[in-house]
C-alpha cells in the first residue's frame, strides 16, 4: 500500500530525513517511532503530499505522491497531532464537507457518521460550532470525518493525544476494523506500550535515518519496545546529538 524509497528531505543545511526506505502492506497497523526531531512528522507530511522532498519516491497503492498527488489523496486520509479545522462550521457540516470531497453517498455517510460519532461519544456535539470544541473533541471529529470515507491509507500523527481512555480504546477497535477491510494504517506515537500492543509492524528512526524495521514481535523479542528503543537510540543522549535535535525544532 505504501512504499517509501530512499526519501531525503532537507531544510537548508539540516537533513531532516536521510535516505529513508520502508514498506507498509495492506492490512498493516504500522508504528513509526523516534525521539523528538527524529524526522517523524516530516516523513508523514511528505507521504501526505504536504511537504515536497529533495529525492526519493513515495508510492501509495502504486501511485506516486510526487507526480500523481490528487489520485493518491483520493484514497488516503491524514490527521495531524493538532487538528486545524474550520471552526466556523458545525461538526456535522465539517463531516459533510469532507464526505462531499470524497464522494461519499448520503446513505453511507449517515450510517457511518452515526456509528463513529456514537462510538466516540460526539453525537450530541455535532450541531455545535467547532469553535466550542475542546482539543479532544476536535481530534474525535477529524477521526470521524476520515473514517466516513474509509481510506485505503490512514496517516495519524500522535492519534491518542487528547483522547480520553474510552475514546482511545474505541479508536483502537476502529483501527482494527479498517485494516480488516484491507486498508493500512501508518501512525507515529510516543506511547511505546500502545505501539507494541497495537502494531504488527514498526519502524524506528534516529536523526532522520532508519535504524530498525520489521515485525513487532521479531524486533522486541522478550523485551519491551521501550527497552529496545532506548538501546537502539542511546547515542542520541550525546551532546552532539542533542544539539542537532534542538536545531530548527524539527520533528
Calculate mean pLDDT across residues 79-97: 93
Q: Is the pLDDT of residue 111 over 80?
A: yes
Cα angle 163, 188, 62; round to 5: 125
Q: Which domain range does residue 37 map to? A: 1-75+153-170+181-251
Q: Is the pLDDT of residue 132 over 60?
A: yes
Total Cβ atoms within 10 A of residue 59: 18
What's the DSSP call for residue 158? S
Q: Cα separation of 192 and 138, whole Å?
A: 24
State the chain's mean pLDDT as an integer. Answer: 92
146/191 same-domain check: no
14/40 same-domain check: yes
213/229 same-domain check: yes
19/40 same-domain check: yes
**Model confidence over 146-200: pLDDT tens digits?**
999 999 999 999 999 889 999 999 999 999 999 999 999 999 999 999 999 999 9
Q: Cα separation of 72 and 137, whole Å?
A: 28
Closest CA to 81 of 170, 143, 145: 143
158/251 same-domain check: yes
The sign of the dihedral angle between the CA atoms of 92, 98, 101, 107 is negative
Query: What is this structure's pTM?
Result: 0.89
Calculate mean pLDDT across residues 11-39: 95
Calculate mean pLDDT across residues 101-112: 95
122/45 same-domain check: no
Q: Is residue 91 a part of any domain in this protein?
A: yes
Give the CA count within 13 Å in the CB-facing half-sphere of 211.
19
- Res 236: pLDDT: 55
Residue 20 buriedness (CB in 10 A; 0-12 / 13-18 / 19+): buried
8 A C-beta contact, residue 40 and residue 3: no
Q: Is residue 162 a part of any domain in this protein?
A: yes
55/159 same-domain check: yes
Cα angle 79, 5, 54; round to 5: 80
Q: Is residue 128 a part of any domain in this protein?
A: yes
71/158 same-domain check: yes
Strands 55-60 and 2-11: antiparallel
Helices and strands (H, E) in the chain, number of each type: 10, 10
Q: Cα separation of 228 and 131, whole Å?
A: 41
Q: Is the pLDDT of residue 71 over 60?
A: yes
- Res 81: pLDDT: 84
Q: Cα separation of 69 and 65, whole Å?
A: 5
Q: Is the pLDDT of residue 242 over 50?
A: no
Amino acid at each position: 500500500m505504501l512504499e517509501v524509497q530512499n526519501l531525503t528531505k532537507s531544510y537548508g543545511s539540516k537533513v531532516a530525513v536521510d535516505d529513508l526506505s520502508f514498506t507498509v502492506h495492506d492490512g498493516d497497523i504500522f508504528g513509526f517511532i523516534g525521539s523528538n526531531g527524529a524526522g517523524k512528522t516530516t516523513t508523514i507530511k511528505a507521504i501526505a503530499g504536504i511537504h515536497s522532498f529533495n529525492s526519493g519516491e513515495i508510492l501509495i497503492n502504486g501511485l506516486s505522491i510526487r507526480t500523481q498527488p490528487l489520485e493518491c489523496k483520493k484514497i488516503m486520509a491524514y490527521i495531524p497531532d493538532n487538528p486545524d479545522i474550520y471552526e466556523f462550521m458545525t461538526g456535522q457540516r465539517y463531516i459533510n464537507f469532507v464526505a462531499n470531497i470524497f464522494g461519499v453517498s448520503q446513505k453511507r455517510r449517515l450510517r457511518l457518521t452515526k456509528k463513529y460519532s456514537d462510538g466516540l461519544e460526539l453525537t450530541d456535539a455535532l450541531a455545535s460550532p467547532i469553535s466550542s470544541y475542546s482539543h479532544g473533541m476536535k481530534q474525535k471529529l477529524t477521526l470521524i470525518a476520515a473514517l466516513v470515507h474509509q481510506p485505503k491509507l490512514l496517516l495519524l500523527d500522535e492519534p491518542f493525544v487528547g483522547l480520553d481512555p474510552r475514546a482511545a480504546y474505541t479508536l483502537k477497535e476502529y483501527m482494527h476494523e479498517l485494516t480488516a477491510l484491507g486498508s493500512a494504517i501508518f501512525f507515529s506515537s510516543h506511547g511505546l506500550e500502545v505501539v507494541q500492543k497495537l502494531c504488527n509492524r514498526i519502524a524506528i528512526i534516529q536523526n532522520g535515518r532508519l535504524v530498525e524495521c520489521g515485525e513487532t514481535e521479531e524486533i522486541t523479542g522478550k523485551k519491551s519496545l521501550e527497552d529496545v528503543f532506548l538501546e537502539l537510540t542511546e547515542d542520541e543522549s550525546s551532546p552532539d546529538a542533542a544539539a542537532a535535535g534542538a536545531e530548527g525544532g524539527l520533528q
